[in-house]
Amino acid sequence: MTKIHPSAIVDKGAQVGEGVEIGPFSVIGPHVRIGDRTKVMSHVVLDGHTTVGADCSISPFACIGTETQDLKYRGAVSFVEIGDHTVLREYVTVNSATEEGQVTRVGSRCFITAYCHVAHACSVGNEVIMSSFAALAGHVHVEDRVIIGGMTAVHQFVRIGTMCMIGGCSRITQDCPPYMMVVGNPAEVHGPNTVGLRRRNVPAETRQLLKDAYKILYRKGLATGEAVRQIHSEVKMTAETRRFVEFVESSERGILR
């Protein structure tokens, strides 16, 4: 059964799924949709045009779907989407987008820990972990299975490739190629995320190929375009190495070097 504490304020326009729990003093806005079995603890604010998936957990003092902090905002209708089985811990903030129809998205099975911030029009993939106090500026794109260390700041429009491991207290100002370990202020790439790849059952041969591609791009002193051509000619293309190369080739901000 759905359980709504008497002190919670749930607008009559909100859509609340089966088995949802809403704790004391939480506020649910008129355009909010909450999926089945999601638990909203005390003192949570869900506002704006926000959709929360099924089986999520939202901890006290989280604010989801509140108005963007972008000074260009002029009242457009924009959206926030949270996937299934995602955990948003204490004081997490996820802001709505700036432009009409834009979406700020956090995927499924994510673990967003205390005090993290996801700004306007960000896209966070599935199975992403953000450690406490990590912050994404506007329009950041985080691919699946990324881990972002605590107190890390990510510049607007940056992309972080799948299965990257970002060390704590890092400053990320350019794109992070997939499968890499990144740390520092300013951040630097320190090689493939070997432990993460192994845990995801990526074969040893593929891990070695990614290491070979990393050495060509980062250790030979080549310009990016020249390094990509050499990777194409010398490294076997698997799904992972192809994704690595395509990410580098498509970078608009430039990759971390």
For the chain, what are the domain ranges?
Answer: 3-139, 198-250
CATH 2.160.10.10 fits 3-139, yes or no: yes
Per-residue pLDDT tens over the stretch 27-63: 999 999 999 999 999 999 999 999 999 999 999 999 9
Cα separation of 92 and 116, whole Å? 5
As a whole number of Å, the CA-based R_g of the chain is 20
* Count of alpha carbons within 13 angstroms of residue 225, beta-carbon side: 0
Closest C-alpha among 162, 152, 151, 131 to residue 242? 162
pTM equals 0.97
Cβ within 8 Å of residue 56, ≥6 positions away:
35, 38, 39, 82, 84, 85, 86, 87, 88
What's the CATH number for 198-250? 1.20.1180.10
Phi, psi for residue 208 in degrees, rounded to 5: -70, -40
Could you state, in chain order, the average pLDDT of each consecutive group of 10 residues for the chain (257 residues)?
Answer: 97 98 98 98 98 98 98 97 99 98 98 98 98 98 98 98 98 98 97 97 97 98 96 97 98 95
What would the pLDDT profile of 125-163 be if each residue is shown by its tens digit? 999 999 999 999 999 999 999 999 999 999 999 999 999
- Rounded Cα distance between 250 and 164, Å, is 17
